[in-house]
Amino acid sequence: MRKIEIKEGPKLEDYQAYSSLRGTVDSFLENVPKYVDRLRGRTIWMINSTATGGGVAEMVPSQMRIMRAMGVSIEWMVIETDEVAFFNITKRIHNAIHGSGDGHYTEADREPYESVNRKNLEGALEVIQDGDVVVIHDPQPMPLARMIKEHRKVSCVWRCHIGLDESNETTRGVWGFLKLYFDDYDHFVFSLKEYVLPEIAGRTSLIPPAIDPLSHKNRTLQMHKCLSILVQAGLIDSREPRLYNAYKHQVRRVMPDGSFGQVNRPDDFQLIYRPVITEISRWDRLKGFKELMEAFVYMKETNARRTDTDALDYKRIRMSRLVLGGPDPLFVTDDPEGAQVLKELIAYYQTLDPEIQQDVALMLLPLDNPKENALIVNALQRYSVIVVQNSIQEGFGLTATEAMWKQTPVLVSGAAGLKFQVAHGETGSINEDPTDIPRLAAAMEYMLSHQKELDKWGFNAQTRVVERFTLFSQIESWLELLSSV
C-alpha cells in the first residue's frame, strides 16, 4: 500500500475569481460546513489501484485539495502489486462490468484477487483508525473492506466508476462473483442510475464524475501558450525563438514500419495547418479507437470520389487529420492488455494506404511528468476541431467533459456515460453505434462541414459542464454522503 501525497493547487478564491464558477462555489461554501462539522475527528481514506492514468487518478487530487481547504481530513492510498494474475482477473472484471468478455468466474479467480488485497492490508491498518471512513474505488481493491473491518470499526463506501445500462450474461456473471463483497459495504456510489443493481439500490447514491476547471488538464490556455506547449512536446516543429525549453520526453508517433519515432520526422505532421480530429484515451478496446480509424479512412475514401473538388467542404475533409492519443508504453508497466491493444492498432495502421497513413497519427504521450502530460492533453483538446470519444462502453467519459469545458465540439458514441453528458445537436453530436463505420464517417463529415453549428455546440457544452460537472457539486454530494454513513 502506498500513500500518495498531493501537490498544492488552486485555492477556493481562485475558483471564485471566475465569474462562471462563482455561483457554484458560493453555494458550495454555504452548504458544506454542516457536513464538515459532522466529519470532525474522522479521516476519509480514498483507496484505488493507481496514482496515474484514468479517471479516478484524475479526480482524486482536486477533490482532496478542496476538501482539505474546508477542514476535512482526507488521505489517498493505492494498492500495490506486480502479480500478473491480479491484473488479468481485475481487467476481466472491469471489461465484464461493461458487458464485454466472458462472465464465467470461479473460486480459483478469487485467489489472486484476494491475496493481493490481503498483502496490502497491513499498510492500510498502519494508518486507518476506528471511526474513519474508507472509500474504495472500483473493483481492484473491493475485497479490502471486509479485511479492514475485521480489525477496525470503520464505515466503508464502494465507489464504482464503471457500469453498463443493460444486463447480459457477462454482467450477470461478474456481479455474481462480486456480490460476495456487497455486505462489507455500508453504502455504494455509482455515476448513473442505470448502473445501480437492484439488490443495493436502497444503499446507493448517484454522484457523476466531474472536472477541475483549474487543473493543468483544464485551465485556460492562451493561444500562444497552447502553441508553445505543442512545440515543447514535439507536436509542432518550430525553429522560432522559444520562451520555454522542450519537455524532457517528447510525444512520439507510430511510424509506418511500426516503430516509434518523432512526430515531425521525416515529414511534418502539419498539426497547426490542418483540421484535426482527436481522441485521447487509454489504449483500451472499449474506447473504440480502431473503429474511429476505420471511419476516418471511410470518410477520406468517400470524399476522394467527389467531383466538386473546388468545394471548401471537399478540401477541408481532404486536409483533415486524425490524432489518436494515449499513454506512451515506455511509462506504463502494469497494463498488459493496453500494450496488446496498441499493438493491434499499429497492425491495422500498417495496412493503410501510405497516403492515409500520413493523415493518421497514433501518438504516444509521455507520462513521466503529470503536469506536462496534462498540459499536452489540454492543448490537444483545445487545438482540435473535433474531439471524438467513440467508446463501445463508457462509465462516464471525462475526456468528453474535458473537451466540452473547453468549448471544443464533441462527437460521442451512444454509450450511457457519454449520452448522459451530451445532447445531440445541442451540446455535441451523438453517433449511437460506435461500430457503425459509415454513420460514424458521416457524423464526422457533417461536423467538418458545419462549422457555425459546431461553435454553438461548443458554447452550450461549456455551460452544461459548469452547471452539472464541475468538482464543487461533486464534492458537496460526497461530503453529504460521507458525513451520514
For the bound state, the minimum distance from the C-beta of residue 45 to ligand UDP, rounded and expressed in Å, comes to 21
Grid cell locating 127: 494508518
Grid cell locating 468: 452539472
Stretch that binds ligand UDP, among 263-271, 320-328, 338-346, 434-442 (CB under 6 A): 320-328
Beta strands in 246-291 (DSSP E): 252-254, 260-262, 276-280
Grid cell locating 177: 462473483
- Cβ neighbours around 284 below 10 Å, total: 22
Q: Which residues of 344-364 are buried (b: 16+ CB within 10 A; e: fewer)?
A: ebbebbeebeeebeebbbbbb
The reply to whether 434 sits near ligand UDP by the rule CB under 6 A is: no
Residue 393 · residue 400 · CB < 8 Å:
no
The reply to whether 326 sits near ligand UDP by the rule CB under 6 A is: yes
Instruction: Give dist(CA 260, CA 304) in Å, integer.
Output: 29
Instruction: Give 155 or 399: the residue with its C-beta nearer to ligand UDP.
Output: 399
State the DSSP string of 87-150. Answer: HHHHHHHHHHHTT-S-----HHHHHHHHHHHHHHHHHHHHH--TT-EEEEESSTTTTHHHHHHT
Stretch that binds ligand UDP, among 52-60, 122-130, 233-241, 301-309 (CB under 6 A): 52-60
Grid cell locating 117: 488485497
Instruction: Give 124 or 364: the residue with its C-beta nearer to ligand UDP.
Output: 364
Instruction: Give 133 or 233: the residue with its C-beta nearer to ligand UDP.
Output: 233
Q: Contacts with ligand UDP in 352-411 (CB under 6 A)?
A: 365, 373, 377, 396-399, 402
The residue within the footprint of ligand UDP, chosen from 1, 58, 96, 213 (CB under 6 A), is 58
Q: Helix, strand or coil for residue 387?
A: strand
Instruction: Give 55 or 213: the residue with its C-beta nearer to ligand UDP.
Output: 55
Q: Contacts with ligand UDP in 281-300 (CB under 6 A)?
A: 281-282
Q: Helix, strand or coil for residue 402?
A: helix
Instruction: Give 58 or 445: the residue with its C-beta nearer to ligand UDP.
Output: 58
The reply to whether 54 sits near ligand UDP by the rule CB under 6 A is: yes
For the bound state, the minimum distance from the C-beta of residue 56 to ligand UDP, rounded and expressed in Å, comes to 7
Instruction: Give 24 or 373: the residue with its C-beta nearer to ligand UDP.
Output: 373
The reply to whether 178 sits near ligand UDP by the rule CB under 6 A is: no
Find cell 463505420 and name the residue: 437
- Cβ neighbours around 334 below 10 Å, total: 14
Instruction: Give 86 or 396: the residue with its C-beta nearer to ligand UDP.
Output: 396
Stretch that binds ligand UDP, among 43-51, 174-182, 267-275, 321-329 (CB under 6 A): 321-329
The reply to whether 280 sits near ligand UDP by the rule CB under 6 A is: yes
For the bound state, the minimum distance from the C-beta of residue 399 to ligand UDP, rounded and expressed in Å, comes to 4
Stretch that binds ligand UDP, among 225-233, 239-247, 322-330, 472-480 (CB under 6 A): 322-330
For the bound state, the minimum distance from the C-beta of residue 282 to ligand UDP, rounded and expressed in Å, comes to 5
For the bound state, the minimum distance from the C-beta of residue 214 to ligand UDP, rounded and expressed in Å, comes to 14
CA atoms within 13 A on the CB side of 232: 22
Instruction: Give dist(CA 135, CA 155) in Å, integer.
Output: 9
The reply to whether 213 sits near ligand UDP by the rule CB under 6 A is: no
> 43: burial class by Cβ within 10 Å (0-12, 13-18, 19+)?
middle
Give the binding site for ligand UDP (CB under 6 A): 54-55, 58, 217, 280-282, 325-327, 365, 373, 377, 396-399, 402
